[in-house]
Amino acid sequence: MGRVPALVAALAILALVGCGSSDDDRDELLVSAATSLKSAFTSYGEQFDRAEAQFSFAGSDELAAQIRSGAKPDVFASANRALPDQLYDEGLVERPRVFAVNRLVLAVPADGGKVKRFDDLTRKGVTIAIGAPGVPVGVYTRKTLDALDPTTRAAILANVRSEEPDVGGIAAKLGQRAADAGFLYVTDVAAANGRLKAIELPKTLRPKVAYAIAVVKGAPHRKAAQAFVADLLNGGGEHALQKAGFEPPPAEQP
């Protein structure tokens, strides 16, 4: 939460700089997005011609907290549905849309190590990095572990050495060899440029990972924000997501 005042101040400065311009004249669009979207959204932003997209990447829970504290990005993209739905119920964002599906995997260093399969997580001496309780990747990980028998779950949790605020922290731990394995999205492994390898989870343990996006209420550039979301669902953004390894959302959303 220490970064919240700084972001609020930065957003205030952007608002003052653009003061007096109409929505169509504004050339900057601020998107707060989950860290796992960095590769896809950076690529999408380079081709989005409705406005100049600027991104703030962090854990989804941290970005939601910033909005609750008064930050006014134009768009909020989360690695789950729960946080945008909560903000919608609180009157802080417009109705969220599911725009992508991801897959939770076990990630390990590509050049080998102690973990070759999921069962190795219970071995003594193995070190594991997971997401913190409030961040979506941490929630999904705990859902996976909760599906295990109590003895196996306890053995894995005993090997957890760090709980990170976003997927970037988990990937960094693996890259530094500070952890033997970590729970990440398959897209994070793809974005590691060959430094990490994915071990698929048993099908019975895979949580449903859906990403949702919403225009923030009172967004400075609402029309551009709506165009950003629309093109993400059917356009250049959709292509960037698929290239990064994301899967399309279900044809019919509940």
Hey, what domains does the chain have and what are their CATH numbers? 4-102+209-243 (3.40.190.10), 104-205 (3.40.190.10)
Task: Give the gyration radius of the chain's Cα atoms.
Answer: 19
The alpha carbon torsion through 68, 59, 244, 213 (nearest 10 deg) reads -20
- Which pair of structure tokens corresponds to residue 114? 């102690």
E-strand ranges in 67-225 read: 75-78, 97-102, 104-109, 128-131, 160-164, 181-185, 196-200, 209-215
Q: Give residue 235's pLDDT.
A: 87
Query: CA distances (Å), 117 to each of 96, 163, 215, in order?
Result: 37, 21, 41
Q: Strand, helix or coil at 212?
A: strand
Mean pLDDT of 88-101: 98
Summarize the confidence of residues 87-106 as an average pLDDT: 98
> The tokens of 7 are what?
């972001």
Amino acid at 106: L
Residue 100, pLDDT score = 97
pTM of the model: 0.87
List, for residues 132-158, the tens digit of each pLDDT value.
999 999 999 999 999 999 999 999 999
Token output for 198: 């994915």
